[in-house]
Structure 1
């Protein structure tokens, strides 16, 4: 399964930076978070999506007229897809770690 994210659906923490943003960070000597920072940002985005879906669910259950069922179902599906993608990434990382640990040196 291949997951591709375009810049509009990609979590903000791992979106490609603009050329000006890259130049300003390099000039200031700031160290980018790298893979760990991107992973942390992606996990934060998935968590926020799950929290948003839970909040919308509560609002629908309390019969809030400002919250539609369709909006809630879309938020739930987005959270579920994000969680499934996170599980796939975790499983791939564990498999890669296992493969590296089993290598003969």
Structure 2
């Protein structure tokens, strides 16, 4: 399972939390090459969607009697899609919690 996108997302969240806590760093040329949070999030969602579509296609082919589909591989693909979706839901839950925490901060 590729966790690069999630690690990037977590690093963005950590830097945002650091800035929100008052330890604001200068945003200059050193931060200009930073990661676009929206793009990382969109790429992660697209990858989960692609994994689910691929697993569904494999399952449909197996159900249709395609002999090139191995039951073992189909089950692994379906489980991988399920785990990646659950992971995405947990990241979403953390983002919502972080948003609610920021909105509840007193200024």
TM-score by length of 2: 0.69
The runs of 5 or more residues in structure 1 that have no matched partner are: 1-8, 17-30
8 Å Cα contact 1:11/1:45 also seen in 2: no
Match status 1:10 vs 2:12? no
The runs of 5 or more residues in structure 2 that have no matched partner are: 8-32
What do you get for the CA RMSD once the two structures are aligned? 2.2
The structure with the largest helix share of the pair is 2
Change (3 A) 1:62 1:70: same
Question: In the alignment, which residue of structure 2 is the partner of 1:35?
Answer: 37
TM-score by length of 1: 0.70
* Distance in 2, Cα, partners of 1:48 & 1:11: 15
List, as ranges, runs of 4+ consecutive aligned residues in structure 1 with deviation greater than 2 Å.
Answer: none
Change (3 A) 1:103 1:32: closer
